[in-house]
Amino acid sequence: MLVPQSGSDAAHEWHLLDTGPELERRGVAPAGTILAVHGNPTWSYLWRGLVAASLRAADAGEPAWRVVAVDQLDMGFSARTGMHRPLAQRVRDLGDLTDALGLTGPVMTLGHDWGGVVALGWAVDHPALLTGVMSLNTAVHHPDGVPIPAPLRLAGARGVLAGSTVTTPAFLETTLSLARPALDPAVREAYRAPYRTAERRRAIGGFVADIPVDAAHESHVELQRIAAGVAALTVPALLLWGPRDPIFGDRYLDDLIDRLPHADVHRFEGAGHLIAEERDYAGAILTWLGDRAAAPTAGTSAETALARDAAPAVAFTPLWSALDARRDDDGDAVIDMAARGGERHVSWRQLDDRVRRIAAGLASVGVTTGQRVSVLVPPGPTLTAVVYACLRIGAVVVVADAGLGVQGLSRAVRGSWPDVVIGEARGLAAARALGWPGMRVSVARLPRASRRLLGVAHSLGEILDRGTGAALPPEPAADDAAAILFTSGSTGPAKGVAYTHRQLSALRDVLAAHFGIGTDTGLVTGFAPFALLGPALGTRSATPAMDVSAPRTLTARAVAAAVRASDARMVFLSPAAVLNVVATADALGADDRRALATVRTFLSTGAPVGEPLLAAAAELMPNAEPHTPYGMTECLLVTDVTLDGIRAASAAPDQGVCVGSPIGANRVLISALDADGRAVGTPSSTAGVLGEVVISAAHLKTGYDRLWLTDRGALAGTPDDDDRWHRTGDVGHLDAEGRLWIEGRLPHVLVTAEGPLAPVGPEQQIEGSAHVRRAALVGVGPHGLRQAVAVVETVPAVARPGLASAEVTADIRARTETPLVAVLAVPGLPTDIRHNSKIDRTRLSAWAERTLAGGRIDAP
């Protein structure tokens, strides 16, 4: 298409993909236009997936969007103009094209790489046509004093630029090599097609040279203009991101979120720069556009609007209110049994003073409402004080468990992009080595050399000093963001779960009301999230001597010592911790047993707990009522059942683990599975229906952090009422009494020729064998024709994995109604990294498939 260039007599030939004529031929009226702009060194071929997906949508009768995907001048198959084209010129070029097309609104811009900047420049300049903006990895601002990414510095270096970008295809080939998995050879050839010669690659070098490395660069002013304009946009926005991008990393995503706080954001974990080749970005875009057609308010994400509209109109009492009420109390608030140097007691007066001083000190160094603070501090009084101080000033606390491992923890911290990192030397060393963002605050006062090495700006002692006598800022609002808590990573990469102050307070209230927690209750917990709730509940809390990131380090004697020190009436442990507590019970002395006999309530949560384990724990605490609440990071308390309740439910045998009835005003429904194992049924309370568990509660999460697509899936297809709902991914059913039975995870359902089969029920039958310690039911074979395989830990344990003995196999097959194609025995079943109690069935299934196919028999 020949397009006149504004301000000159020149006209240039543009190459573009335009689905408008095809939609017209099919008699389809488009809902609007997507103006898609590629970056460097790609071309409009980048958007072929969106073009195809949009036409398929039109064929299916869904809202159709015209796609106009351009080749920027001097790029792709557009004309080589031989002219210098800085950023401002490229924005004008795009405007010239849309004028020539006679483009009318509504227009959604879409850009990638430096095409994202150009597209956003067009968006800023055409408000009358604009209905929304969408971007894949891009940037509109680079912080002063920070070098541009190393690959761009190298490519743009004097003496290197021409050789790496123009005279050779090195820059192009390096970009294509970034895709994971590697690009198909035919796709690589397609990207190379417009750039076969040095003459046709001149603009690749021109784009690199046009990166504004500092304020003296000619494109710096234009980039600043676009950045300021983007911050003023109120139209809907979608940001799709590949966090492994070595150029446009999470730093630039964080900047765009600051400018477009209403944007829907999704980070595709594991994806990189060529996200359009690695993930179904087109499906995400069309889904988002479909949602926008029914969006309640332009410029507001659907999830934010849902949370806002459904916010319960109830009185709100902040988490720190109990600290305010007991600020003159010298009684114990927090007891740390694992403190260096021995048992440590902190009074209410001391804790309140420390919280206030840290809060005021953080505010004095610029920490403000909405800023994110990653806390890399072990559970104990210091962690408690830091968390409550952050909450008090409206900073968003980011908590990721060290049990995620170095890679998982780094993924979590970098993905949340904190403004501040508070940690001990070990955590700060990891932050430095792994390139985590944020101003660094050391818990301890470090030598000057160590501070420089770790990039520490302040010590916690200095923060306390600054806060002494200083005024506190205004309190945050009930519906302000309060915390991001990361999931365990047992069902995929750990996800950040966002909570508001209102939701955290609702969790405190339901916990206090259901379990009757008062000021004199006392709480011993080896489960970190609930250890932090002690001060909010107004009751003293004790952390036993253990490594909280490794639950199996907790012993029975450590629990007894914590109960004795805190005079606690409630003990709260994870299932993995309970396993070791029961296993170490023989070491208890008479004083230990007397202390445990004073406990009145025992809770174990984190994974469904069966009757034998709960009963064994009850023997150690004979006067306690054992409970096993069901919950998850997204909603920490959903249902509850006592040991007596489990036994009563077992009188009428059922499939799965009974986790009881909903707590308080919580609601639980089931979305039935279809024959293909998909949870597509309208959520209902019908008894005996196998399906995905769907929940609602006042303390349910706001959403997943920067995972719009995941969050949308968790909210989809829920009842049409004013409550907020979450699809848990757990599979189970409700019985006639309204009790919930958990039968596994949705991804672990075996879709057999007879229909979907959940694993937990058959596993329980198998574990009835005297030969079996633990069992997992997994599938082999194609979807829809899966065959069941039992993988078991035997008693006594086998020395190496393989087929179970004939005797064990016969006994197991006699105990379950599920036909088993094989029984495999292993020394130990693989479990997840945090709870050590959730069996990794996905890993086991792959192992069983390899083993039964004749592969080398190794450990699963």
State which amino acid sits at residue 1.
M
Does some domain include residue 501?
Answer: no
User: Which among 143, 88, 141, 120 is positioned nearest to 230, based on CA atoms?
Assistant: 120
Tell me what pLDDT residue 157 has. Answer: 67
* Co-location of 183 and 37 in the same domain: no
Phi, psi values for residue 517, rounded to 5°: -85, 125
* Co-location of 59 and 165 in the same domain: no
Tell me what pLDDT residue 314 has. Answer: 55
Tell me what pLDDT residue 120 has. Answer: 98
Burial of 821 (0-12, 13-18, 19+ CB in 10 A): middle
Tell me what pLDDT residue 341 has. Answer: 76
Q: What is the helix (H) or strand (E) element at residue 458, kind and residue range?
A: strand 456-459
* Co-location of 7 and 102 in the same domain: yes
Tell me what pLDDT residue 155 has. Answer: 65
* Co-location of 126 and 33 in the same domain: yes
* Co-location of 165 and 282 in the same domain: no
* Co-location of 595 and 683 in the same domain: no
Does some domain include residue 369?
Answer: no
Per DSSP, helices labelled H in 365-467 are 381-393, 405-416, 425-434, 448-454, 460-467
The CA angle 783-789-790, to the nearest 5 degrees, is 145
Does some domain include residue 776?
Answer: yes
Tell me what pLDDT residue 834 has. Answer: 43
Task: Tokens for 59, please give them.
Answer: 């064929």
CB atoms near residue 94 (< 10 Å): 26
Q: Measure CA 303 to chain center.
A: 15
User: Which among 191, 232, 183 is positioned nearest to 38, based on CA atoms?
Assistant: 191
Residue 305, pLDDT above cutoff 60? no
Whose tokens are 């509209």? That residue is 309
Which residues have C-beta within 8 Å of that of residue 396, sequence separation ≥ 6?
A: 370, 371, 372, 373, 390, 481, 482, 483, 484
Tell me what pLDDT residue 402 has. Answer: 66
Q: Measure CA 139 to chain center.
A: 23
Tell me what pLDDT residue 613 has. Answer: 85
Arithmetic mean of pLDDT, 16-24:
96
Q: Yes or no: say if 789 and 852 are a contact pair by the CB < 8 Å rule.
A: yes
Q: Measure CA 707 to chain center.
A: 6
Arithmetic mean of pLDDT, 510-526:
93
CA distance 707 to 266: 4
* Lowest-pLDDT choice from 448-462, 513-527, 528-542, 787-801: 528-542
* Co-location of 131 and 227 in the same domain: yes
Residue 315, pLDDT above cutoff 80? no
Q: Yes or no: say if 248 and 273 are a contact pair by the CB < 8 Å rule.
A: yes
Question: pLDDT of 594-648, one tens digit each?
Answer: 999 999 999 988 776 778 888 999 999 999 999 999 999 899 999 999 999 999 9
Tell me what pLDDT residue 470 has. Answer: 95
The phi-psi region of residue 27 (left if phi > 0; otherwise alpha if psi is between -120 and 50; otherwise beta) is left
Does some domain include residue 438?
Answer: no
CA distance 704 to 560: 38
Does some domain include residue 267?
Answer: yes
Which residues have C-beta within 8 Å of that of residue 112, sequence separation ≥ 6?
A: 37, 38, 39, 42, 46, 135, 136, 137, 138, 275, 276
User: Which among 412, 431, 415 is positioned nearest to 423, based on CA atoms?
Assistant: 431
**Averaged confidence pLDDT in the chain:** 90
The pLDDT confidence band at residue 156, using thresholds 50, 70 and 90, is: low
Show which of 168, 187, 209 is a domain's final residue.
209
Residue 384, pLDDT above cutoff 50? yes
CA distance 35 to 133: 10
* Co-location of 636 and 741 in the same domain: yes
CA distance 55 to 48: 11
The phi-psi region of residue 417 (left if phi > 0; otherwise alpha if psi is between -120 and 50; otherwise beta) is left
CA distance 528 to 652: 36
CA distance 809 to 803: 9
Distances (CA, A) of 191 to 43, 175, 197, 704: 7, 10, 13, 35
Does some domain include residue 351?
Answer: no
Show which of 163, 181, 209 is a domain's final residue.
209
Does some domain include residue 366?
Answer: no
Residue 552, pLDDT above cutoff 60? yes
Q: What is the helix (H) or strand (E) element at residue 513, kind and residue range?
A: helix 501-515
Whose tokens are 């009881």? That residue is 660
* Co-location of 122 and 59 in the same domain: yes
CA distance 822 to 495: 35
Burial of 421 (0-12, 13-18, 19+ CB in 10 A): buried
Which residues have C-beta within 8 Å of that of residue 650, sequence separation ≥ 6?
A: 611, 658
Q: What is the helix (H) or strand (E) element at residue 548, kind and residue range?
A: none
* Co-location of 257 and 284 in the same domain: yes
Question: pLDDT of 744-767, one tens digit each?
Answer: 999 999 999 999 999 999 998 999
Residue 522, pLDDT above cutoff 70? yes
Tell me what pLDDT residue 489 has. Answer: 65
Which residues have C-beta within 8 Å of that of residue 45, sequence separation ≥ 6?
A: 76, 190, 191
Whose tokens are 């450590």? That residue is 558
Percent of the chain with pLDDT over 90: 75
Question: pLDDT of 442-472, one tens digit each?
Answer: 999 999 999 999 999 999 999 999 999 999 9
Arithmetic mean of pLDDT, 545-557:
83
Residue 724, pLDDT above cutoff 90? no
Task: Tokens for 450, please give them.
Answer: 């160590």
The pLDDT confidence band at residue 563, using thresholds 50, 70 and 90, is: very high
Q: What CATH number did the domain enclosing 756 receive?
A: 3.30.300.30
Question: pLDDT of 192-214, one tens digit each?
Answer: 999 999 999 999 999 999 988 88
Show which of 253, 269, 300 is a domain's final residue.
300
Residue 434, pLDDT above cutoff 60? yes
Tell me what pLDDT residue 784 has. Answer: 93
**Sheet containing strand 691-696, strands side by side:** 630-632, 635-640, 657-662, 740-745, 726-734, 691-696, 667-672
Question: pLDDT of 135-145, one tens digit each?
Answer: 999 999 987 76
Which residues have C-beta within 8 Å of that of residue 726, sequence separation ≥ 6?
A: 634, 635, 694, 695, 696, 700, 701, 714, 715, 718
* Lowest-pLDDT choice from 4-8, 520-524, 736-740: 4-8
Does some domain include residue 642?
Answer: yes
The pLDDT confidence band at residue 9, using thresholds 50, 70 and 90, is: confident
* Co-location of 74 and 24 in the same domain: yes
Arithmetic mean of pLDDT, 723-741:
94
* Lowest-pLDDT choice from 378-387, 605-614, 673-682: 605-614
Find the Cα–Cα–Cα–Cα dihedral 597, 598, 601, 604, rounded to 10°: -50
Preceding peptide of 21 cis, ω within 30°: no
Arithmetic mean of pLDDT, 132-136:
98
Residue 547 belongs to domain spanning: 525-606
CA distance 845 to 776: 9
* Co-location of 803 and 675 in the same domain: no
Q: What's the domain count of the chain?
A: 5
* Lowest-pLDDT choice from 306-315, 431-440, 544-553, 745-754: 306-315
pLDDT greater at residue 207 or residue 156: 207
Q: What CATH number did the domain enclosing 12 receive?
A: 3.40.50.1820
Burial of 377 (0-12, 13-18, 19+ CB in 10 A): buried
Question: pLDDT of 363-374, one tens digit each?
Answer: 999 999 999 999
